[in-house]
Amino acid sequence: MRRGPIPDDDDDDAAVPRKGKVVTTTGGWPELLRCVTTKPPPILLDELIAEILLRIPARSLLRLRNSVCSSWRTLISSSQFAKDHLRRSMAVDPALTHPLIAYFARACEYPKIGVFSVRSVMENRPQEPTKVVSYEGRRYRIIIGSCNGLLCLHDEERGEDGFIISHRAMLWNPCTGFTSQPLEIGGVLSICGFGYDHVNDKYKLLAAVSKKSGEPVTTRMFTFGPNSTWRTIQDFPHNYFDFHSGEYLERLAGLYLSGTGTLNWLLYSHSSFVKVISLDLVKETYSQFSLPSRDSDDNLWMEPKLGILRDCLAVCYETKKTHWTVWFMKDYGVPQSWTKLTTIPHHPLLVHSPSCVALQPIYMLKDVLLAIAPSGKFVLCNLKDGSIDLPNINSSNDGMPRLVPLTQHSCTRVFQLYHESLVSPSHFGLPSCSSEMRLIKPSL
């Protein structure tokens, strides 16, 4: 079995070697990456080296990749290592893939995407603002969804008359800095969703497409690969809005729930809750299940919000016009497993009158829930003691000057949670290149 020495660590943050001392690395790398300078470097089995590297966060591995021996570099860059690292981070140590939030401007077509750290938002003190970093592309793009560290972006191609004639999609990993070549969707996209078929190891894009306004909509499933292909599948079971029933989808882009391989949409009406529409990306078939029951005196005009908390589907709606109730689904697809997570009383900083939307759950860390309040502000709700905090997010460098600062309001922005990973479009046969999304250096 091949063996290899541990190379010298030349990271700028590493300790300076001294005779007889144990050198340990900093920057969050495990103490297993150390050597004794008074003896020759120890010899480790390749399997042990891989196990050590699998315990290092994705972003640190990328920095390490540029300063190690070729065998380590090859290992870290391989598709199998990326899968193993992702699997371990999801099942054993979620801290290995730091959660971040990416957003784009909905009202103003800026060719930029802002990104900030969820952990920083939840752990920083008010006087230590979380900074937004900005990426600039060649054109305005929106975010369809995220999965395994990849963001699915799409942009519009317009004709000479200014009307949209086609949509294109591409995959981007902000952590590794690689994108895929654009995929032609071949029409105008409406209902959509991006996720991972874990059985067939395929990344897929659902797209309800029409050639022109008023033409019949065709539902297509695109599979990303060396020769990205699409095929027509069963029509999506509901329009975005049904004039006769008054039912509509809460959002056009379905939420991907890892572990189930499903995309999920909340179907809602002002007369009652309706259901969740689910698409199985493996079987490419739809199913439906009900939401938690509501009290008869609840405000049915208040739009509920669908989210994902603790790897479970979650929903939040207003109850009795006095508080919000957050539920999560313990057993996916089983309505009887809806479990009440918490109730959050109305607070002057969170409500907005008139308002027609509920609290939007984003992420949970221990007993703290990160959400977007109906007032448009990000909020931290401590479920243990009931306290409310408003995080300090500095969006001054996001390159979107016509938008109000995030500390004041999140309106006109669309947010997408994702986790850093090493997954690259080239790992599943997609031609990839250096990222079209260029990191903008903040102004001093």
pLDDT of 24 strictly over 60: no
Average pLDDT, the chain: 83
What's the confidence (pLDDT) of residue 44? Answer: 63
Rounded CA-CA distance 140/153 in Å is 10
pLDDT of 435 strictly over 50: yes
Percent of the chain with pLDDT over 70: 82
**139 or 16, which is more confident:** 139
Query: Using 50, 70 and 90 to split pLDDT, how confident is the model at 131?
Result: very high
Give per-residue pLDDT as tens, 142-187: 999 999 999 999 987 776 776 766 688 999 999 988 899 888 888 7
**Chain mean position to CA 173:** 11
**335 or 429, which is more confident:** 335
What's the confidence (pLDDT) of residue 1? Answer: 38
User: Phi and psi (nearest 5°) for 79?
Assistant: -65, -35
pLDDT of 34 strictly over 50: no
Q: Residue 439 corresponds to which amino acid? A: L
pLDDT of 221 strictly over 80: yes
When pLDDT is averaged across residues 199-226 and rounded to a whole number, the result is 87
**124 or 29, which is more confident:** 124
What's the confidence (pLDDT) of residue 31? Answer: 47
CA nearest to 49, candidates 7, 16, 10, 15: 7
Lowest pLDDT segment from 19-28, 41-50, 279-288, 373-382: 19-28
pLDDT of 5 strictly over 60: no
Q: Which residues pair with 209 in a beta bridge?
A: 189, 218
Query: Using 50, 70 and 90 to split pLDDT, how confident is the model at 21?
Result: very low
When pLDDT is averaged across residues 134-146 and rounded to a whole number, the result is 93
pTM: 0.86
**Placement of tokens 């004794």 in the chain:** 36
Query: Using 50, 70 and 90 to split pLDDT, how confident is the model at 20?
Result: very low
**38 or 239, which is more confident:** 239
User: Phi and psi (nearest 5°) for 269?
Assistant: -140, 160
What's the confidence (pLDDT) of residue 433? Answer: 66
**205 or 39, which is more confident:** 205
The pair of three-digit structure tokens given for residue 1, joined into one six-digit string: 């079995």
**339 or 59, which is more confident:** 339
Give per-residue pLDDT as tens, 349-384: 888 766 678 899 999 988 999 999 988 899 999 999
pLDDT of 7 strictly over 60: no
**Placement of tokens 């689910």 in the chain:** 278
**Placement of tokens 């999560």 in the chain:** 328
C-beta separation of 173 from 233 below 8 A: no
| Residue 326 vs residues 122, 214, 358, 391: alpha-carbon distances, Å | 19, 38, 10, 21
CA nearest to 26, candidates 47, 48, 56: 56
User: Phi and psi (nearest 5°) for 422?
Assistant: -100, 0
Q: Got the DSSP string for 343-402?
A: EEE--TTT--SS--B--EEEEEETTEEEEE-TTS-EEEEETTT--EE---EE-TTSS-TT
Give per-residue pLDDT as tens, 339-358: 999 999 988 888 876 667 88
C-beta separation of 283 from 222 below 8 A: no
Rounded CA-CA distance 83/359 in Å is 34
Q: Name the 3-class secondary structure at 387.
A: coil
Rounded CA-CA distance 137/439 in Å is 9
When pLDDT is averaged across residues 82-108 and rounded to a whole number, the result is 83
Query: Using 50, 70 and 90 to split pLDDT, how confident is the model at 27?
Result: very low
Q: Name the 3-class secondary structure at 224.
A: coil
The pair of three-digit structure tokens given for residue 415, joined into one six-digit string: 């947010």
What's the confidence (pLDDT) of residue 23? Answer: 35
Q: Which residues pair with 205 in a beta bridge?
A: 194, 222
What's the confidence (pLDDT) of residue 11? Answer: 38
Rounded CA-CA distance 293/314 in Å is 14
Rounded CA-CA distance 241/269 in Å is 10
- The count of C-alpha atoms lying within 13 angstroms of the C-alpha of 94, restricted to the half-sphere facing its C-beta, is 11
Exposed / middle / buried, residue 258 (Cβ in 10 Å: 0-12, 13-18, 19+): middle
Compute and round to an integer the Cα radius of gyration of the chain.
23
**44 or 48, which is more confident:** 48
